[in-house]
Structure 1
Amino acid sequence: MPSNERIFVQAIRSYCARHGIAIDVRADGWLIAMDRGKTRRFAFGYDIGLNSAIAHRLANDKSATSEVLALTGVPAIAHHLFLNPKLGEQIAGPRWWEAMLRLLLQNPQGLVVKPNEGTAGRSVIKVTGSAELEQAVSEIFAMSLGLVIAPYVEIEDEVRVILLDETPMAVYGKERPSVTGDGVQTLRELAAAMPKVKLDDLDTRALDAVVPKGERRVLTWRHNLDAGAKPVLVADGELRTACAKLAIDAARAVGITFASIDLVRVDGAWQVLEINSGVMMEALGKLYPDLVQATYDAALDRVFG
């Protein structure tokens, strides 16, 4: 087994070895064929094939997810879709830029611009002015056929719920990277120990200031695990119950069977941020390997059930 193989692939290998299932790993682990007798199943990316095609497409489209949740009354962060003008005026519309500027005017606290499809927080850009908005839109349209714009909100907490058949298999918070001051080093020096964390959201003055001893400073507004956030399991109790219920409501709305659902608390109220049809638990697996293996095992039991 390659040492750099994804935890997702390792988990499937382990399951197949224990259940007498032949496995053929292709394309560096992004395509996996699993054979038991005359039964063949595939895993592609982080998707093991439990979800219907329409549920998969809805979940992977941030705008569609937002619209479906609004239709069913599930509280969620609104995501407004804009199609790449290279597709032509009849598809993208003639006044898309004016519509973006209206959103900026309606949300003076800022906007978040991101590809309509995609995970791990890639190309997620916060903007507060028209010049920043134009730059972000140009960057994303250069590599994507569509983008979404959401209002920037102060997220108090973010929780991910892994659901299988409406059962919460794992519920964990995303603890943003932070440092604690020693009264000697600057914020930039303290953050140097966290190379994965981008500091482009902090101005030079803040970065070059000495952090007073004992003071905690959060380094980014992003909660992405790939950007340095840490998964922390949510214990049984009111918080876990409330998050599981909201995630189940969201899963029912799009008709999805196996998914990771991101929830955010804003002004004390929980809302759905997005739904992912591919269940990625790489960061969680490094800290809680047994939980991740058990979750994939249960899902694969459904695949071969």
Structure 2
Amino acid sequence: MAISQRIFVDAIRKYCAGHGITIEVRSDGWLVVMQRGSQRRHAFGYDLGLNSAVAHRIANDKAATSEVLALAGLASVPHSLFLNPRLHDHVPPSGSWEVMLALLAEHRAGVVVKPNEGTSGRSVFLARSQPKLELAVNRIFASHASLAISPYLDIAHEIRVVLLDEEPLVVYGKNRPSVVGDGERSLLELAIAATSAERRAAVLRGMTDDLDKHELDAIVPAGERRMLNWRHNLDAGSRPMLLRQGEIRDTCIALAAKAASTIGIRFASVDVVSVDGRWLVLEINSGVMMEGLGRLHPELAYAAYEAALDKVFAAPST
């Protein structure tokens, strides 16, 4: 799908058409210029311009978000920052490798290594050994200025809350793909058979990134359920499931709203995870991307962007 055909851009087009706003889509959809009378507004990437520069920068920095939330006493997943050795003027004289190894030794279940800035679960690796950690670090530093390391957690549920001024617009869970063994077929064969053509590439990409050939070719015992990916990202094959009214939904909304308030962000999606019965903030996304949700529930994505755009054009020009 071309960038200019994203639901985000389409939602802006529809809003502008219905509110007498002229629109120019440039840079293949990355830049959108909107004007109504003297009001001139811009959208860039997935950012509609409601958030302050500082709130945007904190949310876009996983380690900074973790630090701010921890200082405020909010339950969150810790992320440790490491700078690319190319930025040697800012790297401690002792280097970072020993600290990374110490984190790996501390968290016996493994660590998650990811770009410190970025979305969609790209270049996110699970490392349970020193060679895997070294490989992940080298891959990320090949194209990023920094990375973040967090403990690998056995996440039971991951919930995304899209907020506008601390009010929930959309709340949904991310259901990871899984298969049940029949005692005859391999994990890879089961995955191919159980996955639709449109989701197959994403699901298989996540599997082959994490599993070796032996694991993929191993026969899954009859009746045994296997998750196909440890990640919950929609881009990795998970499916969005709307959360019904209830205690879990209320708990996630309350925690997400506190997190958004803590960093002072207005329009954002907050990922909240359940670990051993405890809810934690995983990350905050300043750019609200709803492409995966929009494929199943386009009306919710359009309504969320419309509510945000109402706020954009309600604000006085600056």
Provide TM-score, normalisation by structure 1: 0.95
User: Where does structure 2 lack aligned partners over 5 or more consecutive residues?
Assistant: none
Matched residues, number = 303
| 1:26 and 2:34 matched | no
Distance between the aligned counterparts of 2:107 and 2:280, measured in 1? 18
Distance between the aligned counterparts of 2:271 and 2:286, measured in 1? 12
Check the 8 A contact 2:162/2:267 in 1, yes or no. yes
Once the two structures are superposed, the pairs formed by residues 81-100 of structure 1 within 5 Å of their partners are 81-88=81-88, 90-95=89-94, 96-100=96-100
Distance between the aligned counterparts of 1:191 and 1:9, measured in 2? 33
3-state SS, counterpart of residue 202 of structure 2: coil
Distance between the aligned counterparts of 1:280 and 1:35, measured in 2? 23
Bigger shift: residues 161-170 or 130-139: 130-139
Q: Which residue of 1 aligns with 2:266?
A: 257
Distance between the aligned counterparts of 2:140 and 2:215, measured in 1? 28
Return the offset for 1:212: 4.6
Distance between the aligned counterparts of 1:205 and 1:26, measured in 2? 47
Identity in percent: 59
Distance between the aligned counterparts of 1:181 and 1:101, measured in 2? 36
Q: Cα RMSD between the aligned structures?
A: 1.6
| 1:195 and 2:204 matched | no
Bigger shift: residues 220-229 or 183-192: 183-192
Check the 8 A contact 2:3/2:30 in 1, yes or no. no
Once the two structures are superposed, the pairs formed by residues 116-265 of structure 1 within 5 Å of their partners are 116-192=116-192, 193=195, 194-197=200-203, 198-200=206-208, 201-265=210-274
3-state SS, counterpart of residue 118 of structure 2: coil
3-state SS, counterpart of residue 221 of structure 1: coil
Distance between the aligned counterparts of 1:207 and 1:143, measured in 2? 29
Return the offset for 1:144: 0.9
Counterpart selection for 2:306 from 297, 302, 305: 297
Return the offset for 1:215: 4.0
Distance between the aligned counterparts of 1:112 and 1:213, measured in 2? 31
AA paired with 2:231?
R
3-state SS, counterpart of residue 207 of structure 2: coil
Return the offset for 1:293: 0.8
Distance between the aligned counterparts of 1:63 and 1:4, measured in 2? 31
Q: Which residue of 1 aligns with 2:77?
A: 77
User: Where does structure 1 lack aligned partners over 5 or more consecutive residues?
Assistant: none
AA paired with 1:136?
A
Distance between the aligned counterparts of 2:102 and 2:3, measured in 1? 50
3-state SS, counterpart of residue 301 of structure 1: helix
3-state SS, counterpart of residue 195 of structure 1: helix
Provide TM-score, normalisation by structure 2: 0.92
Distance between the aligned counterparts of 1:10 and 1:204, measured in 2? 41
Q: Deviations over 1:177-224 (max 9, x none)?
A: 112344543221121242211213234444223345554321010101
Check the 8 A contact 2:112/2:150 in 1, yes or no. yes
